[in-house]
A and B are shown apart, each in its own frame.
Chain A
Amino acid sequence: MIEGEPLCILLVEDNPDHAELAIRNLTDAGLVNHLFHVEDGEAALDYLNNRGRFADQSAYPRPHLVLLDLRLPKVDGIEVLKQVKASDQLKAIPVVILTTSAAERDLAQAYNHYANSYLTKPVDFDSFSNLLRDLGFYWLAWNRRPTS
């Protein structure tokens, strides 16, 4: 590890297949120490705020990156993004949107709510692998964060 620090990602993805693909690619690249996967927006917010079943902060640490799908059950992705960026404690966490949607409206909405990046899931397997690897490298290796 470049920083020698355990890296933590929160993956918010309702489609278990997509989640598996993402996890597999990120893990294969050997970038991630901890990857937590939740399946809806409500769970994501609970995790980030250490609420409910995610109350144990040591078991569910603050992530260094949030990978957020937009279309989620219960609370949708934009709402999660809005709440994260509205929170003084959470707004510093980079939130990368990872979605199937390439709709201009979704893009604009995401950036308007301070998304740090917006990525469309490629249909092609190699592209998908490369994207996730590059993503991991960029945010977890190259990107610098303040030491908390």
Chain B
Amino acid sequence: MVTQVHKIRRFALVLVLFWSAGIAFSFYWFYRGEQQTVLAIGRAEARATFEKDTLYRRWATRHGGVYVPASQLSPPNPYLKRIPERDVTTASGKALTLVNPAYMTRQVFELADSQHNLVRGHITSLKPIRPENKPDPWEAQALKRFESGVKEVSEVQVMDGRPYMRLMRPFVTEPPCLKCHAAQGYRVGDIRGGVSASVPLDIDSAVMDDVITGAAVSHGFIWLLGVGLIGTGARVLGRSARAIEEREDRYRTVADYTEGWEYWQGPDHSFRYVSPSCLELSGYSREEFYADPELLHRIVHPEDRAYYESHVRDSFHGTPRPIDFRIVRKDGEVRWIAHICRLVYTASGAENGIRGSNRDITDRKLANQALREQAVLLEKEVRERMERETELEAKNAELERFTYTVSHDLKSPLITIKGFAGAVLKDIEGGNLQRLDGDVRRIMGAADKMSSLLSDLLELSRIGRIVNAPSLIDMNMLAKDVLGQLSGPIQQAGVEVSLQPGLATVWGDQPRIGEVLQNLVENAIKYKGEQQQPRIEIGMRQDADRAVFTVRDNGIGVPAQYQETIFGLFNQLDARSDGTGIGLALARRIVEFHGGKLWVESEGIRQGSTFCFTLGTRPPETVQIEQG
């Protein structure tokens, strides 16, 4: 990955290269300019020297040469032997000799040569009169070029190890020249030879070297300055870029490696950031969320969408609350999301959208649901068990009561039988016979009582075990049947019986319900008391939501304190009445087996009684729990 720092470094390097090239070019340009200046100066100097020499020689030529004292310095010129008056003597005897322009020029040049740093001159020709004046190879070449019309030749040449600017111009024949050179066949205007001037360049070069050195130093400084600036700039930029990169790296690490699905929505609801983990949760990549700000809305489960949207509205208005909602993943799976969010602000405090976090809580939700279901099941089971326990306790208590009652009531006739049997034996032994008859009757009575107790017990125990298929019972029909069966005792007791028409129909074991009615009617007949006009009414009334069947009499009544006792097994209010005292207990048991209740309502002694019972309206369970 090309980081910002690398980019900056590369850019700086390129900049340094360009800078160096620029500086180098500038220096080169300057150097070249300097060099050309030196040559131009050298050429100008050579030209000036040439002009001056020409001027002096012309002057000398016009005068046909000049006379100078003949000396070692200027001996008489042997090449002028043919010139008249080459040597003259002044009146005072001073010897003079003629110095022609060429000779003069040569002497001046030779003088210049003896001086180290002066411009050197040379007069030459392809056909010199004096052989020493023959040209060097460069001059010979230049002279040849003059003949082809070139007016000036200049070039840098190294002579005796020193660089010189050499310049040469042709030497044109003028009339006075013919004085000496006519013999050679020259005419005016002919190019007779040339004069060269050689300017030593090393003096100027030395000056130039200083300038170049100065320029090099200043260029070096400028280059260094530029490189330094570029370097410093690059370092400063690099450092801040690195700091930015580090910060970015830190925030990216923090944001991108979150377990949950983190995001930032701008005030326009577009996604400014979505953590990559959105892919695991939703099946959609962050790019899809960036491209479509409505995507999140769309994947919310349709049943939760209204709730979610109201949450979003609230959140952007500044009251975000945590919510749980479902989403439908890209692959169609439904997941539970726990969502929290908060408003975010810019550094200057302006609202800047919403920062949200979504966490997958599907497992927790499912576990909770399973737990709740389990709890409901468990609760139901516990309730059922408690009901069963209560039922069982009631049954145990009943069984205990039953055992107690049975043992007491069965023992009672036994005592009578054995007691009177003993008495009879004793009386027989003592010959006392008048009580025998009564005692034996007592024994018989007790035995009968015992027998009927046993059959009653058998009957009672059958209630739970022998069950006829439940059927829909027309209570009017049933009551008519029962009254028909009891018509004998009813007539005997002179009881007037009435039956309310339109009694409800009920579900039940018909013969057993018949027994209930029979017992209640028998009971009413038995306890009519002193009533002169005994009456029994069979009817029905509506209590709350269930029908209550009633058997009302105008007999002895039941005081409040005995209204529960009378339903006890073998309980009788009147010791002398017939029966075993099982009738009401039996009736209640049957009614209870049908899911109903049996009770008595009475104002008290001689106020009559109303025996009431209800029955379950739905068919009873076909399988009954066995009774002890």
Instruction: Give chain A's interface residues, CB within 8 Å of chain B.
Output: 14-18, 20-21, 24, 39-40, 71, 73-74, 99-101, 103, 105, 121-126, 128-129
Contacts and interface: CB of A to CB of B under 8 A. Distances in A.
Given A73-B575, A123-B418, 15 more contacts: A16-B575, A17-B416, A17-B442, A18-B419, A20-B442, A21-B416, A73-B572, A99-B408, A101-B404, A121-B415, A122-B415, A123-B414, A124-B418, A125-B419, A125-B421
Interface in B174-224: none
A58 B415 CA distance: 34
Interface string B388-423: 000000000000000010011001101110111111
B59 interface: no
A73 B565 CA distance: 9
Contacts of B404: 101, 103, 105
A129 B412 contact: no
Interface in B554-585: 562, 571-576
Given A17-B442, A74-B562, A100-B408, A128 B575 contact: no
Contacts of B600: none
Nearest to B416: A17
B445 interface: yes
A126 B423 contact: no
Nearest to B422: A125
Contacts of B416: 15, 17-18, 21
A39 B419 contact: no
B412 A18 contact: yes
A117 to B, nearest CB: 19
Interface string B529-571: 0000000000000000000000000000000001000000001
Contacts of A129: 422
20 contacts: A15-B412, A17-B419, A17-B420, A18-B415, A18-B416, A21-B420, A73-B572, A73-B573, A73-B575, A74-B562, A100-B408, A100-B415, A101-B404, A103-B407, A121-B411, A124-B418, A125-B425, A126-B422, A128-B415, A129-B422
Interface of B: 404, 407-408, 411-412, 414-416, 418-423, 425, 442, 445-446, 562, 571-576
A99 B409 CA distance: 11
Nearest to B566: A73
Q: Which of A15, A39, A99 has the most CB of B within 10 A?
A: A15
A124 B422 CA distance: 8
Given A100-B415, A123-B414, A128-B422, A17 B445 contact: yes
A69 B75 CA distance: 201
Contacts of A100: 408, 411-412, 415
A128 B411 CA distance: 14
B563 to A, nearest CB: 12
A105 B414 CA distance: 22
A20 B422 CA distance: 13
A123 B417 CA distance: 9
A105 B442 CA distance: 31
A144 B138 CA distance: 189
Contacts of A122: 415
Q: Which of A100, A122, A128 has the most CB of B within 10 A?
A: A100
B465 to A, nearest CB: 27
A102 to B, nearest CB: 8
B408 to A, nearest CB: 5
A141 to B, nearest CB: 23
Given A71-B408, A101-B404, A24 B575 contact: no
B418 A125 contact: yes
B71 to A, nearest CB: 186
B391 to A, nearest CB: 23
Given A73-B574, A125-B418, A21 B423 contact: yes
Contacts of B414: 123
A121 B407 CA distance: 13
A123 B415 contact: yes
Contacts of A71: 408
A21 B415 contact: yes
Nearest to A75: B561
A125 B408 contact: no
A122 B446 CA distance: 16
A39 B211 CA distance: 161
Contacts of A15: 412, 416, 575
Contacts of B442: 17, 20
A16 B412 CA distance: 11
Contact of A123 (B408, B411, B572): B411
Contacts of A105: 404
A16 B418 CA distance: 15
